[in-house]
Amino acid sequence: MRVMGVDPGLTRCGIGVIDAARIHRPALVAVDVIETPSVSAVDTRLGALADAFDRWLDAHRPDVVSIERVFARHNVSTIIGTAQASGLTMGLAARRGIPVAMHTPSEVKAAVTGSGRAGKAQVTNMVTRILRLNAPVKPADAADALALAICHLWRGAGAAGSTPGATKDVDTRQGGGRQGSSLTPAQQQWAEALKSAGTPRRR
């Protein structure tokens, strides 16, 4: 099971990929933060983000993309940019027929740390321990992206909210009926493994 986590943002978009041959032992594949200059036009920034995300999808070929669900905040301009980046990454994944899952910040924190109110430092610390890294993942956007991927591995592989089906060809999938009606073969195997192994223990 290969999961790409995305912490969406127009100025800074965290992106990370993990593999898990065993449920309790996910491993880091790649992580980075895609940045776009705030002085540039929004369409130019979204174009640059699309190009970078396309390269990541082509290079790492994930089984599923896990994206943070966007919530309204006090800073309207920030939330608009976050929503634009989120929709862009969802669309690019869907164009390849790659399933997309959405997870709230509290779900991610609870999955990784055991508390839905954990701070960024706690999330970073647990991501570092879970992936058995020699140093903390920085910046926070990168750690959050990996936490989203871990959350989906442990909690979301069998979720009904994942979209969509058993093929990575978007035209075939859309022609076959309602999106979200089935899981990819990798997701099906992972969901069965999760049921057999139970919830991973946090150390």
Catalytic residue among 7, 63, 107, 144: 7
Q: Burial-class residue 81 by CB neighbours within 10 Å (0-12, 13-18, 19+).
A: buried
Handedness of CA 160, 199, 118, 66 (dihedral sign): negative
Could you tell me whether strands 100-103 and 64-68 are parallel, antiparallel, or unpaired per DSSP bridges? Answer: parallel
Check: CB of residue 5 under 8 Å from CB of residue 15.
yes
Q: What's the rounded Cα separation, in Å, for the pair 185 and 125?
A: 32
Handedness of CA 122, 13, 145, 161 (dihedral sign): positive
Instruction: Supply the pLDDT for residue 77.
Output: 74
CATH topology of domain 2-157: Nucleotidyltransferase; domain 5 (3.30.420)
SS3 sequence, 141-168?
HHHHHHHHHHHHHHHHCCCCCCECCCCC
DSSP character for 163? B
Catalytic residue among 35, 58, 63, 141: 141
Q: How many CB atoms within 10 Å of residue 116? A: 13
Whether 7 is catalytic is: yes
Q: Report helix, strand or coil for 31.
A: strand
Instruction: Supply the pLDDT for residue 22.
Output: 75
Catalytic residue among 63, 68, 107, 144: 68
Q: What's the rounded Cα separation, in Å, for the pair 73 and 187?
A: 33
Whether 192 is catalytic is: no
Q: What single letter denotes the amino acid at residue 116?
A: G
Q: How many CB atoms within 10 Å of residue 49? A: 24
Tokens of 189: 């195997």
> Tens-digit pLDDT profile for the chain (203 aa)?
899 999 999 999 999 999 988 767 899 999 999 999 999 999 999 999 999 999 999 999 999 999 999 876 667 778 899 999 999 999 999 999 999 999 999 999 999 999 999 999 999 999 999 999 999 999 999 999 999 999 999 987 544 344 444 444 445 544 443 333 345 566 566 667 666 766 555 54
So where are the chain's domains? 2-157
Q: What's the rounded Cα separation, in Å, for the pair 40 and 159?
A: 38
Whether 68 is catalytic is: yes
Q: What's the rounded Cα separation, in Å, for the pair 158 and 152?
A: 9
Name the residue with tokens 């699309």: 50
Residue 54, annotated as binding a ligand: no
Residue 7, annotated as binding a ligand: yes
